[in-house]
Amino acid sequence: MDELLPKLPIANWIDIIIEWLVDHFEPFFESIASGLEFFVDGIVLGLGIIPTIILAVIVSLLAWKVCNWRIALFSLVGLLLIDNLGYWENMLDTIALVITSVGISIILGIPIGIWASQSETVGKIVTPILDFMQTMPAFVYLLPAIFFFNIGVVPGVVASVIFAMPPTIRLTILGIKQVPEDLIEATQAFGSTTGQKLLKVQLPLALPTIMAGINQSIMLALSMVVIASMVGAPGLGADVYRAVTQLQTGTGFEAGLAIVIIAIILDRITQNIGKTKKGGTA
């Protein structure tokens, strides 16, 4: 078979493209790295100056407002447990990484999803790219990210964005396309422009589905914290990775438990924000 069809040098082509991008766009990547690092450090600094108990109470009150008292109580006890175990600072690093990754996913993903929902051609181009982003092993994204952004939190953020963005795009497309056709026809009958139809009908009705996509992006970004730690990203993922490499089962369980607590809090709050928008009550 090798004699009939020689092996395609795809690996060499990818290496050449990466080297060319690094050689010609190094200042561009450095500026992105500096901006992301500044943003992540800013979040950590901002959250860090708030006393632990006050931040835990603020999160609990938010959970009470958008969910119920059970989630609020769980949030308060869970955050105090994380502090008691000594993972508070690393938790802030993890939250900063997740907030930055999800924020970029939303800023890029929702406009792309809106564009793809309005154009069949764009949708046909975007769909296989999303398939590629979701099925390619997440470890692979770390390699070019290291070349472009060196080690640290930035390649972790970039890899998390690539891995976490597809649900936001997919569910934005789905939410807009699920808007009843008779409502679309009614807006057209009243002479609404494309922008008015999008902003006043499609996006409001699609908001719960879009929020579900954002919720999934948060969960995927959290699932990347251990992988991101392999390139030097700080946080709870680094604790889990260190425990695995040193066979410290108890420490690994504690750090993993802290990640689960954060995931449950963020999941319940974002889920109920979507329900509140849809039904008017939490």
pLDDT digits (tens, 9 = 90+) for 201-224: 888 888 888 988 998 999 889 888
- What CATH number corresponds to the domain at position 124? 1.10.3720.10
| Residue 24 in domain | yes
Q: Is residue 185 part of a domain?
A: yes
Task: Print the domain residue range for 142.
Answer: 17-49+86-274
pLDDT above 50: residue 76: yes
Question: Has residue 69 been placed in a domain?
Answer: no
Task: Give residue-wise pLDDT tens across range 29-49.
Answer: 889 888 888 999 999 999 889
Instruction: Tell me how many domains the chain contains.
Output: 1
Report the interhelical angle of 88-118 vs 69-85 (nearest 10°).
130
Share of the chain above pLDDT 90, in %: 33
Q: Global pTM?
A: 0.86
Please check whether residue 77 lies inside any domain of the structure.
Answer: no
* Spatial distance between the Cα atoms of 12 and 223, rounded to a whole number of angstroms: 30
| Residue 58 resides in a domain | no
The predicted pLDDT at position 262 comes to: 92
Place of tokens 């938790």: 91
Q: Answer whether residue 134 is part of any domain.
A: yes
Backbone angles phi, psi at 6, to 5 degrees: -60, 150
Residue 1 maps to a domain: no
Question: Does residue 91 form part of some domain?
Answer: yes
